[in-house]
Structure 1
């Protein structure tokens, strides 16, 4: 496991937004002082991934032998409502690390969203992700990197430059994969894809069709490959059976990303 780092080691800006939650009787939603939903948890089953784009952030599973998954290391950049962190740690029993800037988000997830305390297989680090992911202990250590970094305005990714995506690639094992949520009210998708391609290469990129809410999940492989449809169908059945994810639906929505 990567070396644990103090949760109070990184200064946090006093300008971070407030954290609050709402409920509709079925789900609890995390907000950063606005109406924008930063994450969700089903009240009767906290380990279900409620939002469609969050489910798609798990599509790295299609590219890996299911029997190898228990030995993998998952990392989230941005805690949100801890949906992915809970899922990879508690449901999948994976070694899980997460980097979150805002200590109030972390406290909210501990209090309202059933996030366990750090332990031998869970390591939530309070730090600036752009700096933390450059630490030597993370290099080449991550199999599944899940990036969902938005502020309270939800206008564009907070970290989105070419150097950041190169740092993300450096985190990955040879068959590791990054999944990133691209969403915003500004038209930043093409620019984000261009920067990801500069780091990973065009042949390594895959993308889902946008969800109804406007989230597009992009996948970037450390080592490009083209799994066969038959292999994906086989793995999708296993993913659904073992982890309850709608992987069969992913097959018709996920394609190699061809840039214009």
Structure 2
């Protein structure tokens, strides 16, 4: 079946790429003016997380009590197709904040990807993530920070400095975790990992093996935890039972990077 590209793509803001989508079977994909996929949604399950690496961005759930999740605050840097934002707000019932630079991405998510309007527990902020997370109102307030910041060429993270990752650490609660999407097979991966370790400390880092597409999700804890595999397995089973995420599979490809 051929992909169906949107007949009317969103008009780009000055200096920002065009936003459009394509449908393939029962899946809708978000694009920023190229064939690179920036996010996806299953049309028959719009509130579920479709892509494997995006599911792995929820690995912070392994380190918190499941019953406490709805009382916590999640933040996404980069809206994409809003999969993480929708899942956090609608399935996990968390207070959820997304920071997105391109207003047309937000318009696309509301028009094509079933992102609901802002309410008491959902806020989308149009801003530069590097500047916004330095605002005093966010400091120490985020339990789950999910960073997926790529431009239309999807070559390397747009924000990828030790200072940026230190700013990310500063918004986390003491139990908070950051998950970040990196390209594990690219030459920039090791450099990115070094910068995250500089900000968080190497003992705070966990990582997945790359997906088939090369996406590697790295998790960094504000406060490093040494957790037994048996405890992680118990947590993973609860995550799968409660929310349908394939967390038991994660443990086969997820490990601590502590020295």
Relative to the length of structure 1, the TM-score reads 0.93
The structural deviation recorded for 1:183 is 2.1
Are 1:154 and 1:183, in contact at CA under 8 Å, matched by a contact in 2? no
2:22 aligns to what SS in structure 1? strand
Distance 1:13 1:241 in 2: 42
Name the stretch that deviates more: 183-192 or 163-172: 183-192
Structure-1 separation of matches of 2:55 and 2:183: 15
Q: Secondary structure at the match of 2:225?
A: coil
Matched, 1:136 2:148: no
Q: Between Structure 1 and Structure 2, how many residues are aligned?
A: 248
Kindly report which structure 2 residues correspond to 1:1-260, keeping only aligned pairs within 5 A, or say none: 14-183=14-183, 186-257=186-257
Q: Deviations over 1:152-200 (max 9, x none)?
A: 0001000000110000000000010000000288510011001000000
Task: Give distance in 1, aligned partners of 2:114 and 2:180.
Answer: 24
What's the C-alpha RMSD, in Å, of the aligned pairs? 1.4
Could you give the per-residue CA deviations for residues 210-250 of structure 1, whole angstroms, max 9, x where no partner exists? 00000000000000011111111111111001111000001
Secondary structure of 1:76's partner? strand
SS in 1 for 2:38: strand
C-alpha separation in 1, matches of 2:220 and 2:50: 23
Q: Write the distance in 2 (CA, Å) between the matches of 1:235 and 1:67.
A: 11
Distance 1:51 1:241, change over 3 A: same
Deviation at 1:258, TM superposition (A): 5.7
Once the two structures are overlaid, the 10-residue window that deviates more, 170-179 or 231-240, is 231-240
Counterpart position of 1:7: none
Kindly indicate whether the alpha-carbon contact (under 8 Å) linking 1:154 and 1:184 is maintained by their aligned counterparts in 2.
no
* Contact 1:134 1:167 (8 Å CA) reproduced: yes
Instruction: Judge conservation of contact 1:156–1:184 (CA < 8 Å) in 2.
Output: no
- Distance in structure 2 (CA, Å) of the matches to 1:129 and 1:184: 23
C-alpha change, 1:206 and 1:184, in structure 2 (3 Å) is closer
Structure 2 length normalisation: TM-score? 0.93
For structure 1, which runs of at least 5 residues remain unmatched after alignment? 1-11
Q: Give the Cα separation in 1 of the matches to 2:120 and 2:149.
A: 25
Flag the 1:85–1:188 CA change in 2: closer, same or farther, 3 A. same
Cα 1:208–1:42, aligned 2, differ >3 Å: closer, same or farther?
same
* Distance of 2:237 and 2:258 partners within structure 1: 27
